[in-house]
Amino acid sequence: MESLHNSRLRSWLSSSPPVIWGVRQLRELLIGALRQGPIPQHVAFVMDGNRRFARDHHIETVEGHNLGFEALARILEVCYKTGVKVVTIYAFSIENFKRSKHEVDALMAMAKLKLNQLSEHGALLDRYGASIRILGQRELVRPDVLEAVDKAVALTAKNKKAILNVCFPYTSRDEITTAVQKTVDAYSTPIESGRISSKRPFSETHITHHIRKQMLQTVPEDAAETLAASRSASPSSSKELNSSAGGQSSATSTAITSEKGENPSGAPSYLDPETITTETLTNNMLTAGMPPLDLLVRTSGVQRLSDFMLWQCHEKTSIVFLECLWPEFDLWQFLPVLVEWQWQQKKLREQEKTSRSMQIASKRNT
Amino acid sequence: MTAAMASTGITPRESVAFRRGKVDGRELSVKEREDMVKRILPDEPSESSDVPSRSSSPLKSKRPRQKMEQRKRKPGLIKQILYIVIHAVVSFLFSVFFRFRRSYRLVKSRVVAVLYHHHRTPEFIQRDIKQLERLPKHLSVILDFNESDEDQGDAGLEGLLNNVCEIAAWTASAGIPLLSVYEQTGVLKNYIPQTHQSITATLETYFGPRKPTLSVRAPHLQSYSPPLTPPRSSSPERNGDPKEERPHLTVLLLSANDGRNTMVDLTKTLTEMAQNGALQSKQIDSNLIDAELRDAVSTEPDLLVLFSPTVTLKGYPPWQLRLTEIFHLPDNKGVNYQAFLRALYKFAKAEMRLGR
């Protein structure tokens, strides 16, 4: 009886207006305080633990997802008020389609409902200045849900202050594969070289002629010899010489040959595959143009990436695994993570500073 | 639920409205919903954008200006100061907390290290992991190449090699057949024969003459398992009992080059094939990439053990990490046996009891 009385008293107290007002003020204060330190530009969340939370509290799985959505709303408020630019959430994996049809349908219905509600409040969304983007395989989504998605995306597209990435049938391997595909596509479509070169006042044969001349003058003897040898071997074919000169220059600066792999014959010309870099692939990822991922948080104690942001978090991202379940996740769990991140960031900066000063000192000594 | 409510600052009425879209059993209109959230909303964007500039301007110069403006400015400034003070207090409290936590963890790991020690004997290691129901088939570790000695005494190439040897010996004792060692710079790849030699020597100190056979390899380089080590069980003399068969350990050396750069190389090759008409871009799927990377670099490890105090991947091959269990010991520094052992326990979802 005693404990029941206590819990009732506590619930009465915790739902009394002054307490709620006080807590809200405290939250605002803490958020404002957090803003004084460095803030991660890009944060990703794996929202894990909705189902286990439902099981632990003896409620329906769908209700667990609903509570998870509330946790998301709370945490988004914290993120955007502290000044995080991009938040990426793992809402639905392609693998999740393997779950029970009942659960998948309920999740889809929830997504549709929430997105439709969101679309009704366009003016309010502008205050947060966040634009919604959907990352993932659109073809797998039901058309009616897709419609709600597109509406919400279109409505917020003009907002520039912050971005909310919703990974909605997404897996990272799928993302990487698509990026590779896009790159291959871009590099294997012929470029209309004739049109491009005719616009400019320079002739490419003229330039290669100059390069060849320069190389004969400046390049060490053995290189000049090989060039001469190749000429003597096939004195008539200027085409081959052309390409060999091009190959030489591409070693030093790819810019000359790569932009337009000029081919005198009628064969289609392509971009040079050697100019593909990690940036090319990064720009073909779904998160192209966004700041690098600074922080990745996964709840519910599972220490795995589970096919999420593999490409993005491979190097400097701080990955944090938390024991709490996602519906329980709130400012009180997120605050220590952010403060620790700020602390580490401060230490990293100090380390860099000392190493730089040491480098300078060593340079002075030598 | 009520306890959670207290910490979020949302009234029960509001949370019901949020969950069900209803108040007092009645659907909310768009307007009503907007009124409800109005007081938690941030300021209008135009106003919030000039808050920082306002706070940075000194107060004195503003005196001749109108009173109205000053009154408007004041709460912003006070708030700003309050924020800075609170941030300083919170950061200080947490830094004290972090330091205490670090020393606590250090003491704890020392205790574990005393209780569990391998004594360079495979039997001890086998006893430590005897109760585990599942072991990783492919174990991976991330190591650092420390330029300067920090107090672990594992600086430079020698220190790194030493760590690799120890981990290889523990892995072999645990009976895990494949160990991949990731080290960002890939310096060990230049010394594969020497690495092989030192690991063999370390295995010898653990196992004696009946040490497991070993091969060391790195992506794009030939596997190194010299004829000095007798050929694997393919030898005809199998007349003894099957336990005579010695286990085999493969050590795979990975570097940052095997990560994103290898993906780029694969893309280049695929592009060339597409340009020559040997491949359609539609034919590229994750199975193809997976098969290629599996052959060229490595398979997906089951367990990745970090010995660093925090989790950062330092350029580890991204494709391979899909479902890998990532283990790290918070605030741990340097390679040690108890971190290795705790990783195996975590992987098997077993409780590690102090004082057996």
Average pLDDT of the residues in B4-11: 60
Q: Is residue B17 part of a domain?
A: yes
- The average pLDDT across A2-26 equals 79
Share of chain B above pLDDT 90, in %: 45
Q: What is the mean pLDDT of residues A283-299?
A: 93
In terms of CA atoms, which chain A residue is nearest residue B303?
A304
Q: Which residue in B has a C-alpha nearest to residue A33's C-alpha?
A: B83
Q: How high is the mean pLDDT of chain A?
A: 80
- Position B152 pLDDT exceeds 70: no
| Contact state of B33 with A121 under an 8 Å Cβ cutoff | yes
Q: What is the pLDDT of residues A23-59, one digit of tens each?
A: 888 998 999 999 999 999 999 999 999 999 999 999 9
Mean pLDDT of chain B: 80
Contacts of A335 in chain B (CB under 8 A): 90
Write the DSSP string, B117-145.
--TT-HHHHHHHTTT-S---SEEEEEE--
* B chain contacts of residue A303, beta-carbon cutoff 8 Å: 325-327, 346
B283 has pLDDT over 90: no
pLDDT band per the 50, 70, 90 thresholds, residue B58: very low
pLDDT higher than 60, residue A228? no
Helix %, strand %, coil % of chain A (to 5):
60, 10, 30
Q: Quick one: pLDDT at residue A197? A: 46
Tokens of A159: 């907002």
As a whole number, mean pLDDT of residues A103-115 equals: 88
Q: A11 to chain B: which residues are within 8 Å by CB?
A: 2-3
CB of A272 within 8 Å of a chain B CB? The answer is no
- Split at pLDDT 50, 70, 90, the class of A159 is confident
Query: Looking at the complex, does the CB of residue A173 fall below 8 Å from at least one CB of chain B?
Result: yes
Q: What ipTM was reported for this prediction? A: 0.80
More confident residue, A64 or A232: A64
> Would you place residue B223 in the very low, low, confident or very high pLDDT band (cuts 50, 70, 90)?
confident
Partner residue facing A34 (CB), from B8, B87, B319 = B87
The Cα–Cα gap between A342 and A44 comes to 16
Give the confidence band of A13 by pLDDT, cuts at 50, 70, 90: confident
Question: Hey, what are B41's tokens?
Answer: 């909303």
d(CA B34, CA A121) in angstroms, rounded, equals: 7
What residues make up the domain containing B9? 1-51
- Return the percentage of chain B with pLDDT > 70, whole number: 74
Q: What is the pLDDT of residue A266?
A: 56
Q: Is B59 inside any structural domain?
A: no
Is B267 within a domain? no
Chain A, residues 59-88, CB within 8 A of chain B, namely 66, 70, 73-74, 77, 80-81
Query: Which residues, including other chains, have CB under 8 Å from residue B123's CB and lie 6 or more apart?
Result: none
Q: Does A314 touch chain B (CB under 8 A)?
A: yes
- Rounded CA gap, B315 and B185, in Å? 10
Q: How confident is the model at residue B268 (pLDDT cuts 50, 70, 90)?
A: very high
Other CB atoms closer than 10 Å to residue A281's CB: what's the count? 20
Q: What is the mean pLDDT of residues A308-321?
A: 92
Alpha carbons A111 and A197: distance in angstroms, whole number: 51
A34 at B interface, C-beta within 8 A = yes
Distances, alpha carbon A80 to alpha carbons A305, B23, B85, in Å: 24, 28, 21
Same domain? B127 vs B208: yes
Lowest mean pLDDT, pick from A189-203, B134-148, B246-260: A189-203
Residues B205 and B341 in one domain: yes
Say yes or no to pLDDT of A128 above 80. no
| pLDDT band at B40; cut points 50, 70, 90 | low
pLDDT band of B65, cuts 50, 70, 90: very low
| pLDDT at residue B1, as a whole number | 43
- What does the domain layout of chain A look like in residue ranges? 40-189+278-329
Residue B200 shares a structural domain with residue B329: yes
Is the pLDDT reported for residue B227 higher than 80? Answer: no
Looking at the domain that runs over A40-189+278-329, which CATH code has it been given? 3.40.1180.10
* Residue B198 maps to a domain: yes
In a domain, B34, yes or no: yes
Residues 206 to 265 of B: which have CB under 8 A from any A CB?
A: 259-261, 263-264
**CA gap B173, B323 in Å, rounded:** 25
Q: What is the pLDDT of residue B107?
A: 92
Q: What are the start-end ranges of the E strands in chain B?
A: 22-23, 26-27, 138-143, 178-183, 213-217, 248-254, 303-306, 325-328
* One-letter amino acid for residue B119 of the chain: H
Residue B175 sits in the same domain as residue B307: yes
pLDDT tens per residue across span B167-221: 999 999 999 999 999 999 999 999 999 999 999 999 999 998 888 999 999 988 7
Interchain pair B275, A188: CB under 8 A: yes
pLDDT band at A259 (very low <50, low <70, confident <90, very high): very low
Residues with Cβ within 8 Å of residue A256, at least 6 apart in sequence: A207, A211, A246, A249, A250
| Cβ separation B3–A313 shorter than 8 A | no
Q: How confident is residue A295, by pLDDT bands cut at 50, 70 and 90?
A: very high
Q: Is residue B284 in some structural domain?
A: no
Chain A residues within 8 A of B91 when measuring between CB atoms = 37, 339, 342-343
With CA atoms as reference, report the closest residue to A20 among B2, B36, B17, B80: B2
The confidence band for B344, taking pLDDT boundaries of 50, 70 and 90, is: very high
Q: What is the pTM of this model?
A: 0.78
The SS3 call for residue B62 is helix
Is A14 close to B6, i.e. CB distance below 8 A? yes
Residue B335, SS3?
Answer: coil
Q: Which of B10, B26, B51 is the last residue of a domain?
A: B51
Does B59 have pLDDT greater than 70?
no
A36 and B CB contact within 8 Å: yes
**A359: which 2 tokens?**
């480098």
Q: Would the pLDDT of A168 be above 80?
A: yes
Question: Could you give the C-alpha distances from B48 to A76, A129, B43, B52, B71, in angstroms and in order?
Answer: 18, 12, 6, 8, 17
Query: What is the SS3 assignment for A131?
Result: strand
Residue B296 CA to residue B59 CA, distance in Å, equals 65
Nearest CA in chain B to A29: B83
d(CA A243, CA A245): 5
The total domain count for chain B is 2
Q: Is residue B355 part of a domain?
A: no
Looking at residue A233, its pLDDT comes to: 43
For residue B320, what pLDDT is reported?
Answer: 93
Assess B193–A contact: CB distance below 8 Å, yes or no.
no
Is B86 in contact with A74 (Cβ distance < 8 A)? no
